[in-house]
Amino acid sequence: MFDKLLPYEVSHLILGAYFNYYHNFKGITKRAQIRFENKDWLGIQSDARLRLSLYRDAVGRTTEEVLELLGTQKDNKQVWKATKDYFTYEVKNFNTRNIAETFYNSVYRHSHKGLSADVDHMYVHATATYREFKSTDPINYTFDIDPDLKYTFKSILRRYRFDIPWEDLKRDVQYLQKTFESVILGRKISIADFQIEIIKSVFFRNKGAYIVGRLKSDKEVIPFVLPLLNRENGLFVDALLTDDRDVSSIFSYNRSYFLVDVDIASEMVDFLRSFLPSKSLGELYNSIGFEKHGKTVFYRDFLRHLAKSNDKFIEAPGIKGMVMHVFTLPSYNVVFKIIKDHFAPPKSVTQEEVKYRYELVNQHDRVGRMTDTHMFENLVFERGRFSENLLEQLIKDAPTKVQLSPEWVKIKHLYVEKKMTPLNMYLEDASWVDAEEVIDGYGYAIKEMAAVNIFPGDMLLKNFGVTRLKRVVFYDYDEIGFLTDYNFRIIPEPRNEEEEMSATPYFHVGPNDIFPEEFPRFLIGNPKLREIFYRLHGDLYHVKFWRDMQERLRRQEIVEVYPYRYHERFCEKYPEK
């Protein structure tokens, strides 16, 4: 090999690895429909986890191969600059150019341990809008809305081929017609002004398949989503979702990513954003499985925001955590969390255990009740954006993770997640109507996490947040564990007066023993709120709920948790007589 061509060879090694990664990514995604048809729910969940690990494994292998090929030139900046130039030339006409650039960034950073962003040798800023890449064949079907709505819905459903029979297609079409007519009447819009545009690829997650699209006119875009389920008697449409709240929840950052076949990710994201305008581009890339590029897009957006703002980072509102130091930028909708170097009693977890649990949540089904996070290493901020008081506290809490220079603050390891209002703070000013709604959500959050084999450990209100849509979400992971690992017990009756009056437990308590009848004493302090919780979710105070759920999980049952409001289901709207 000619020495001058070393950068060319390295760039093509990375490019070949990217092709292989993308091929495997799409292969896992494409088999989601087969698993859905076969009711292989465990297989779908396994594939969702496998696809997440695919990127990391590919980057790790590629980095080793690149460093071996570079040999003594591995630290030569000119070689790396030329490598990036060759890579840029090769991918400039790729329809997945943006994803390929992120893959290159990952290999470069893994080849340079301790590195922050490097503008000269990485794609820190976007090299294009990426909107110049469009499918020669549209990614969506377009339907005019026939006066005979049944004809329109039959036409839509027949576009999607499944190797399973419909349970009752005629019934589903009738339900779609009824629901659609009520939507049009409720919104007071003219059907004649709209077309229905439906993405050709089906979105799969857990037990559901989703036909995703929009009602579009010259003036308005309305979500249009059909959840499909496959049960004993075949395939059926479960709902028609046109409400922003339901559709936003389906694409929430608190849920696992979809398995959906995508050719041009930027084009898919643009389509989704047309009816999900409150979602950031990064969130939408995450939702369709491109988690690492979603992180890249978030970081670019964050840099742009820093450049056009001048407010300073502050301590995040709420009760200070014993494990994490949390700060935020008031003008930006995220919080930054650093693991403290030492935890005050009674916390007994280690830093590595905390990292493991955050990774566990990233890999697990978050069921809409556990917030997604991005982990960053060696993130650099301008020192002038921090108050000296905040810097002093960061150095005190995490001296091994925070480095200061006259100009910069470098944080070795931190998590970034969406900003929410802590539940305890939300309840301080909430009306009784809102309070009852979020207390109900708090109970459902605990139950739905249990349904995916997660026990939060510390269930205090301060560890839950309330989102923009008033959804209650858990965000403190340092004590979570698998529900099936715990022993839910009834407190034994005291054998005598001495035991009854004892200030300390008179019976053995193991490290994983949980006594649900103790929950009323510490979960909710306000008596009125405690009464609401008991009325709505009093079963959480009894071991029966927990043991029954453990038994279902041990049978490998996938417990039903719907990502849209239950009353939107056709079985609720149109109960059979």
Q: Is 218 left (phi over 0), alpha (psi -120 to 50) or beta?
A: alpha
pLDDT above 90 covers a percentage of the chain that reads: 87
Q: Give me 429's structure tokens.
A: 């000013």
- Span 178-186, average pLDDT: 88
Give percent helix, percent strand, percent coil of the chain, each to the nearest 5.
45, 15, 35
Helix ranges (H only) for 387-422 are 388-397
Q: To which residue do tokens 């559901």 refer?
A: 208
Average pLDDT over residues 124-136: 86
In contact, 283 and 253? CB cutoff 8 Å: yes
Residue-level pLDDT at 1: 62
Dihedral of CA atoms 426, 432, 435, 440 in degrees, nearest 10, equals 180
Q: Are 256 and 205 in contact (CB under 8 A)?
A: yes
Specify the residue for token string 């019934």.
171
CA dist list (Å): 414 to 338, 394, 429, 508: 5, 12, 31, 38
Count of CB atoms situated within 10 Å of the CB of 185: 9
pTM, rounded to two decimals: 0.94
**pLDDT given for residue 506 in this prediction:** 73
Cis, peptide link before residue 147, omega less than 30° from 0: no
Q: Which residue has the tokens 């069921």?
A: 367
Quick one: which of 250, 253, 225, 223 has its CA closest to 239? 225
188: pLDDT confidence band, cut at 50, 70 and 90?
confident
341 an active-site residue?
A: no
Q: How far apart are CA 172 and CA 163, in angstroms?
A: 18
pLDDT tens-digit series, residues 410-458: 999 999 999 999 999 999 999 999 999 999 999 999 999 999 999 999 8
How far is CA 560 from each of CA 73, 449, 452, 457, 568, rounded to the nearest angstrom? 54, 12, 9, 22, 15
508 pLDDT higher than 70:
yes
Burial of 255 (0-12, 13-18, 19+ CB in 10 A): buried
Question: What single letter denotes the amino acid at residue 119?
Answer: V
Q: Which of 148, 242, 141 is nearest to 189 (CA)?
A: 242
The strand pairing partners of 403, in sequence order, are: 410
Pairing mode of beta strands 140-144, 195-199: antiparallel
Chain mean position to CA 202: 19
> Tokens standing for 54?
């695919």
Q: What is the pLDDT of residue 499?
A: 65
pLDDT digits 0-9 by tens, 511-544: 899 999 999 988 999 999 999 999 999 999 999 9
CA–CA separation, 569 and 577 (whole Å): 16
Q: What angle do CA 415, 474, 248 make, to 5 degrees?
A: 90
**How long is the chain?**
577
CA pair distance 61, 59, nearest whole angstrom:
6
Q: Which of 56, 23, 47, 42 is nearest to 359 (CA)?
A: 56
Closest CA to 295 of 509, 430, 16, 106: 106
Q: Is the pLDDT of residue 31 over 80?
A: yes
| Window from 64-73, 126-135, 140-149, 534-543 with minimum mean pLDDT | 126-135
Tell me what percent of the residues of the chain surpass a pLDDT of 70: 99
pLDDT for the residue 129:
84
| Arithmetic mean of pLDDT, 466-474 | 95
Q: What number of CA atoms fall less than 13 Å from residue 343's CA on the CB side?
A: 18
Residue 490 CB coordination number (10 Å)? 11
CA 500 to chain centroid: 47
Position 116 scores a pLDDT of 85
* Cβ neighbourhood burial of 79 (10 Å; 0-12, 13-18, 19+): middle
Please identify which of the residues 246, 372, 397, 478 carries the catalytic annotation.
Answer: 372
* pLDDT over threshold 70, residue 340: yes
Q: What is the dihedral of CA 319, 323, 325, 328, to 10 degrees?
A: -70
Answer yes or no: is pLDDT of 39 > 90. Answer: yes
Is the separation of the CB atoms in 412 and 377 below 8 Å? Answer: yes
Tell me the chain's radius of gyration from C-alpha atoms: 26
pLDDT, one tens digit per residue, over 267-325 is: 999 999 999 999 999 999 999 999 999 999 999 999 999 999 999 999 999 989 899 99
Q: Which residue has the tokens 């709207």?
A: 573
175: pLDDT strictly greater than 80: yes
Task: Indicate if the alpha-carbon torsion angle 257, 260, 261, 264 is positive or negative.
Answer: negative
Determine contact, residues 382/408, Cβ cutoff 8 Å.
yes
What's the pLDDT score for residue 509? 84
Is the distance from CB of 313 to CB of 385 less than 8 angstroms? yes
Query: Average pLDDT, whole number, for the chain?
Result: 94
Residue-by-residue DSSP string for 276-309: -TTS-HHHHHHHTT-HHHHHHHHHHHHHHHHHH-
